[in-house]
Amino acid sequence: MKNTNTIYSLAVAGVQQLIPYKAGKPIEELERELGLTQIIKLASNENPLGPGKKALEAIQSALAELALYPDGSGFHLKHALAEKYALNADQITLGNGSNEILELVARAFLTPELEVVFSQHAFAVYPIVTQAVGATAVVIPALHYGHDLEAMLQAVTEKTRLVFIANPNNPTGTLLTQASLEQFIGALPDTVVCVLDEAYFEFVNTVETVNSIGWLKKFPNLIITRTFSKAYGLAGLRVGYGLSSPEIADILNRVRQPFNNNSLALAAAKAALADDEHLQRTISNNTQGMQQLTEGFKSLGLEWIPSAGNFVSVDLKRAGQPIYEALLRKGVIVRPVGNYELPNHLRISIGTHAENELFLQALTDILAHV
Ligand SMILES: *Cc1c(COP(=O)(O)O)cnc(C)c1O
């Protein structure tokens, strides 16, 4: 028998140290294991209403062309996005989920000598893509669960090539003001690329309008990432995009695979973009569900981190993992966030009214018996 440890020693150093992203089990498998029939999943910030009708119809029509390679330039989707955001198509990079954009940025801009600055409690993919290319992660302690922009700026050195910011942040849901962000990006050296991850921007519901796209004119080192996985309900198809200067888009397009988006995804995303009715329904369900959950937490005497996204992290004032497991046994999947250094919190994705109700009932039962 050969020694398989040799194989591990052959992987590049960063990959040897990597802890893979932990995905949940498929619902059907859990139902089988737990002997349950009606599991609800409030764990991955998906759209509880599903995709819109227009997206589903577009998928149906695109089925006829499945034998052909997809349009590798993403022509139609890029043009729809360009029109929506008043940008040029050459400022857009399409990805297999916005996760791929994050990875393309890391591959295109990082080497093992360079550093990447991001916040504690920030999205789990930032350390993964950083480490996979052997670069050094500089993690800045959070401020009130969110990004401490001042400390992040102070951590920038001549080795820094990349900064990741999630706004709203996952899993905390914290939101930075547009003014503080604009100032932060403006203060970065030209030699630092700033990734502004806006996976949840459609849910942002404040008096402030998100105007980050307007900053692209003055910040050639900025890339904004967005996705069809959350508000548009297409997580299973994997479509995300980057909005940037044409120069950054050109660089990312050099490293991406020629057919990184499949044809059903391209068709569905373009149709989803034109389905404002479904988007509005989604946002309104989210607003109501957020209120329903936080009122539930309040009556249980629990505190939560105010969230601008489609999820909320609740402080159980005790280890979250056993509560997560108890919820699982009652058929409710949520997300433990111990791996985000939030061991006493659980992150709950906003579901339908009925799903939120089932979750609150299960949580109430469990907390009455601990
Ligand atoms: C969900 C999420 C993404 C997007 O994931 P994709 O499905 O790959 O588009 C990106 N950033 C954050 C912070 C997220 O929570």
Expressed in angstroms and rounded, the spacing between residue 290 Cα and the centre of ligand 1 is 20
- Omega prior to 168 cis, within 30 of 0: yes
Q: Kindly state the DSSP code that residue 201 receives in the 8-state scheme.
A: G
CATH 3.90.1150.10 fits 10-41+277-367, yes or no: yes
Whole-number percent of the chain with pLDDT over 70: 99
pLDDT exceeds cutoff 90 at 220:
yes
Q: Kindly state the DSSP code that residue 202 receives in the 8-state scheme.
A: G
Q: Residues in the chain, how many?
A: 370
Expressed in angstroms and rounded, the spacing between residue 96 Cα and the centre of ligand 1 is 11
Fold: same for 10-41+277-367 and 54-275: no
Q: What is the pLDDT of residue 1?
A: 63
What is the average per-residue pLDDT within 267-296? 98
Q: Whose CA is nearest to atom 3 of ligand 1?
A: 199
What is the average per-residue pLDDT within 104-130? 97
Q: What CA–CA distances, in Å, run from 209 to 89, 177, 178, 204, 205? A: 23, 10, 8, 9, 8
Which ligand 1 atom minimizes the distance to the CA of 197?
11
Q: What is the pLDDT of residue 206?
A: 78
Which ligand 1 atom minimizes the distance to the CA of 309?
15
Q: Which residues line ligand 1 (CB under 6 A)?
A: 45, 97-99, 123, 166, 170, 197, 199, 227, 229-230, 235, 240
Say which CATH architecture domain 54-275 belongs to.
3-Layer(aba) Sandwich (3.40)
Q: What is the pLDDT of residue 356?
A: 98
Contact 327, 363 (CB under 8 A): yes
- The pair of structure tokens assigned to 343 is 């061991």
Expressed in angstroms and rounded, the spacing between residue 235 Cα and the centre of ligand 1 is 9
DSSP for 207-272 reads SSPP-HHHHTTT-TTEEEEEESSSTTS-GGG--EEEEE-HHHHHHHHHHS-TT-S-HHHHHHHHHH
Q: Whose CA is nearest to atom 6 of ligand 1?
A: 97
Q: Pick the residue with more confidence: 370 or 281?
A: 281
Q: What is the pLDDT of residue 329?
A: 93
pLDDT exceeds cutoff 70 at 110:
yes
DSSP for 46-108 reads --TT-S-HHHHHHHHHHGGGTTSPP-TT-HHHHHHHHHHHT--GGGEEEESSHHHHHHHHHHH
- The pair of structure tokens assigned to 263 is 């044809």
What is the average per-residue pLDDT within 272-299? 98
Q: Pick the residue with more confidence: 181 or 35?
A: 181
Which ligand 1 atom minimizes the distance to the CA of 227?
9
- pLDDT averaged over the chain? 95
pLDDT exceeds cutoff 80 at 2:
no
Contact 350, 283 (CB under 8 A): no
* Gap between the Cα atoms of 322 and 276, Å rounded: 40
Which ligand 1 atom minimizes the distance to the CA of 98?
9
pLDDT tens profile 158-191: 999 999 999 999 999 999 999 999 999 999 999 9
pLDDT tens profile 67-98: 999 999 999 999 999 999 999 999 999 999 99
Confidence at 3, pLDDT banded by 50, 70, 90: confident
Q: Kindly state the DSSP code that residue 160 receives in the 8-state scheme.
A: E
* Gap between the Cα atoms of 107 and 131, Å rounded: 11
The 10 Å Cβ neighbour count of residue 234 is 27
Nearest in space to 30 (alpha carbons), one of 365, 324, 369? 324
pLDDT tens profile 225-262: 999 999 999 999 999 999 999 999 999 999 999 999 99
Expressed in angstroms and rounded, the spacing between residue 121 Cα and the centre of ligand 1 is 14
3-state secondary structure of 367: helix
Q: Pick the residue with more confidence: 277 or 15?
A: 277
* Gap between the Cα atoms of 312 and 99, Å rounded: 21
Q: What is the pLDDT of residue 52?
A: 98
Expressed in angstroms and rounded, the spacing between residue 319 Cα and the centre of ligand 1 is 26
Residue ranges per structural domain of the chain: 10-41+277-367, 54-275
In this structure, the strands spanning 193-197 and 222-227 are parallel
pLDDT exceeds cutoff 80 at 207:
no
Contact 363, 330 (CB under 8 A): no
Q: What CA–CA distances, in Å, run from 237 to 46, 129, 251, 267, 310? A: 12, 21, 24, 10, 19
Which ligand 1 atom minimizes the distance to the CA of 228?
9
